[in-house]
Amino acid sequence: MSLLEVKNIDVRYGDFLALHDISLNVEEGSIVSLIGANGAGKSTIMNTICGLNKPVKGEILFDGKNISGLKPSRISKYGLSMAPEGSHCFERMTVKDNLLMGAYLAKGSERMERLKSVYKLFPVLEEKQNQMSTYLSGGQRQMLAIGRGIMTQPRILLCDEISLGLAPVVINDIYEKLKEISAQGITLLIVEQDVNRSLKNSDYAYVILEGRVVMEGKSKELNVEDVNDAYFGMN
């Protein structure tokens, strides 16, 4: 069953048409990746799904409900959460407070339960819970951004460019954690620039080029060379 359906959306920045007729389908429980080079439109897609950009055409359905044009706060209440690009966190807050911000609407005991489950997933965040987040390494900040995303107990988590600037061993570790998150029943939509890594870690993939979907398919059925050609617009 589709949890998220993006149907024929166009998004503009002023006169510039950044997304052209984009359609995506994310099945409940799956891991879907968006692959594309810098400037292809991946972040614009993610930001539009979570309500930061408004499409000028098309619609976005979450669990069958039309969410296009709604405010991000409203969309997040439906169960959609985003770990943003560049692992943004509140620098002058402790790791623990950053995480608790992700569940500010939940009751005290419920927040603590969720915090415990994030610490179980990322023990390093528990070790560093009283440190200011500004002192975390790049990988730890990414874990914090993901942890804060799951503090809302979303049905779907959007992860924008989780690998940005991280060492391969750290990236592998984060992908292992994403598999655990997926096994908990959370659907994942992940932006990734690396074709091999993307196909290896997802069930379904979309290749984005200049604001259009130029290829899609089950990750294990897509050919890496074909995807690379599509990625660079060589088809």
Q: How far is the CB of 110 from ligand ATP (least distance, A)?
A: 34
Count Cα neighbours of 10 within 13 Å in the Cβ-side half-sphere: 8
Residue 123 CB, shortest distance to ligand ATP, in Å, is 30
135 binds ligand ATP (CB under 6 A): no
CB under 8 Å to 46, separation ≥6 — which residues?
34, 82, 85, 158, 160, 189, 191
C-alpha angle 89-95-101 in degrees, rounded to nearest 5: 65
Our finding on whether 43 is near ligand ATP (CB under 6 A) is yes
Q: Does 13 bind ligand ATP (CB under 6 A)?
A: yes
- 55 is a site residue for ligand ATP (CB under 6 A): no
- Helices and strands (H, E) in the chain, number of each type: 9, 10
- How far from 87 is each of 2, 142, 214, CA to CA, in Å? 28, 5, 28
Rounded CA-CA distance 178/14 in Å is 36
Q: Does residue 44 belong to the site contacting ligand ATP (CB under 6 A)? A: yes
Q: Sketch the per residue contact string, 172 through 191, with ligand ATP: x for CB under 6 A, - otherwise.
A: --------------------
38 contributes a contact to ligand ATP by CB under 6 A: yes
Interaction of residue 33 with ligand ATP, rule CB under 6 A: no
The C-alpha R_g of the chain, in whole angstroms, comes to 17
Which residues, listed in sequence order, are joined to residue 65 by a DSSP beta bridge?
Answer: 62
15 contacts ligand ATP (rule: CB under 6 A):
no
Site for ligand ATP (CB under 6 A): which residue of 24, 42, 96, 202?
42
Distance CA 47, CA 38 (A): 15
81, 150 contact by CB (below 8 A): yes
CB of 136 to ligand ATP, least distance (A): 22
Closest CB to ligand ATP among residues 68, 163: 163
> Which stretch in 12-20, 55-63, 130-138, 178-186 sits in contact with ligand ATP by CB under 6 A?
12-20
Burial 74-110 (b: 16+ CB within 10 A, else e): ebbeebbbbbbbebebeeeeebbebbbebbeebeeee
Among 26, 32, 41, 151, binds ligand ATP (CB under 6 A): 41
Q: How far is the CB of 91 from ligand ATP (least distance, A)?
A: 21
- The answer to whether residue 230 forms part of the interface with ligand ATP (CB under 6 A) is no
The residues binding ligand ATP (CB under 6 A) are: 13, 16, 18, 36, 38-44
